[in-house]
Amino acid sequence: LFLMGNKLSKRKKYVYEKPQFQQEGEVKILLTGMVGCGKSCIASQYVYNIFYQDYDPGLEDSFRKQVEIDGNIYLFDILDEGETEYRAMRDGYVRTAEVFFLVFSLTNRESYDDCPYHLERLRRIKDEDHPLIMLVGNKLDLEEDRVVTSKEAYEYAAKEGVSYIEVSAKTGSGLEDMFFDMIRMCRDDTYPHMPFQNVKK
């Protein structure tokens, strides 16, 4: 389940310009969003195929994984910024990251409503209108507990000109697409900017 919202953005003076992105090498990735929405669980499932049921949601954590995408080798340096009380440290994480995943829980309305704050923060610290951001709705496996619809999240992503995907840290559903498609869009001007698969409207 994936879509890209860049071309639908209505942000004032928004012009999409693909940043320079290396064909191979290390990619610094930051997972951000409200504490408890499953950021480190996403990373641990993707990197180690492990889901921690009782993971401490406030901890900063980092993960590394080497992958091959379309014949190119990348080393993902993935950081969950956690709940550090040091603003300068958190801002530093944003400045050094190249790709951002803004995570919320599909079962937690507050985590979704918190996304505009995080999005504004990323843009302000990076001093860019369009850093490479993907909005990620986690806990897709808990469909019966969903409080944020795909249509609502899709429309928000389209308005802000960011990508959107729904995943499950527990089952691993959507995680490879989350990482691989973001890299493809960053790197390749010919890759579709608006894949739109099975999003409920």
CATH class of 2-10+22-197: alpha beta
- Residue ranges covered by each domain of the chain: 2-10+22-197
Non-local (6+) Cβ contacts of 150 within 8 A are 1, 137, 166, 199, 200, 201
What pTM did the predictor assign? 0.81
Outline where the chain has alpha helix (H). Answer: 39-48, 87-96, 109-113, 115-126, 150-160, 175-187
CB atoms within 10 A of CB 116: 12
> What is the tens place of the pLDDT at every residue in 38-93?
998 999 999 999 897 765 555 557 899 999 998 999 999 999 876 655 566 778 88
- Phi, psi angles (nearest 5°) of residue 95: -65, -35
> What is the tens place of the pLDDT at every residue in 96-138?
999 999 999 999 999 999 999 999 999 999 887 678 899 999 9
With contact defined as beta carbons under 8 Å apart, do 76 and 98 qualify?
Answer: no
Q: How far is Cα 150 from Cα 165, in angstroms, rounded to an integer?
A: 9
Dihedral-angle region of residue 161 (phi above 0 means left; psi in -120 to 50 means alpha; beta otherwise): left
